[in-house]
Structure 1
């Protein structure tokens, strides 16, 4: 058997129409209806026709969680299961659900509150740097207050996060092929998220995390664990901590993974993994037609 990891993308991968080809599947439609009862708004309506809302954190994150988890459930119904799971930022919640750490509805309640808190934490800035000098970047960040490496995505692509002044200062000092300001509501995965993270931690304390049935690679500590308490502690740090995706990509072959399936819209994660661990077999499940038999 080919050892397989399932990975789940986060905010930025959403696209209009995602998941809408699942509506003819009764179990999927049931999940969309359950989501509407929990959220108070319709994922279907927003994914079908409201691109502006779909780009807003408070709607983006729950919509991705719902769509990605439905695809994962359909794959499991067809007899497929992963040997390892991981998710990029928001995607980690889907990974934890698939690993049996919490029930689907609990995960959606957590994602809903996370999205609301992150949406309200305005004032910061994020930017992507592509094809840069890593040593220079690390040196400049160390010398610049109020900016951190938020997403270490691959050897050639990172995201920095912090105050607008500090992010722009790093962008101007570090030589990069491209430096792109991102349209986010705040400085995600940075210390500027600390007030939101503290409030979210109070919510997490009341949620029991079960031992995982599948090892999970976490964003802030990219080493496999099935310990529910460890996975909760790692999730606690996620809102202010760095997404160490480059290291997750390296951990996949180190844990004998041969194949990776990215479940959700787009192909961002398989693209990043290919740059870091090029020998892995990479597949995508972005729509119903790509579901394995």
Structure 2
């Protein structure tokens, strides 16, 4: 793997903070919001598009010399082991998204234990690397099921990125800390929340996904700039392979809000990601938060007096 020192990296080096780039590896028919319209038993009969989308993402990251963490479903890994191995071979971190994209809020402790144990074993066997990280499908760990963090620790996971400190109709724990913390106390699993912007007493989503497609790029860039330069903290950004795929099949019968959220600006997503990778510095979760994972206090980077990006 060659290291490129192109214009993109020179521009982004004006900022001292390295952010965490993450991908939730699932296909369009596995999205929780579409579950009422797509029976789980139909998954195996649908045309899977995740492998070709992963190839495009890996090529994009290679062009921009960016490394990322891929939170991967065991269901996907089982069917596309070569794609999982390519992720590892390209220098990215392999992490878990569970096996079958079931919300943790729909599972009991025993079911959750079985799901994450199965996924972790699959990913480690296929990828040949230790899996340290986990992200709950649809950020489905919150105040009612914090027991899941203890189960994650018991099964050998080192960190989670599952608690989104925002208000949302499907997930969120707005009172949770915005930056790295250990919800179950000293020695417990490290929680690395998706990025938020604190404004007028509320936490606003700034981590990517549908918000990145909905809002003008300048809004996302401004939020990340504030987190990096004013707060001196890394930001955790995420997206899905299906979000760069405007040609994916349209699911009939879904409501207007779900249709809007899922299909909006898919045709613009890849170009926006190009800009994002150009404007900021990025790395894997386990590298960005290496000190915190080692048990050292997480220090904020002194705010940078960098010029505004064009």
Asked if Structure 1 and Structure 2 have the same fold, meaning a TM-score greater than 0.5 normalized by the shorter chain, the answer is no
Say which structure is richer in strand: 1
Structure 2 length normalisation: TM-score? 0.28
Structure 1 length normalisation: TM-score? 0.29
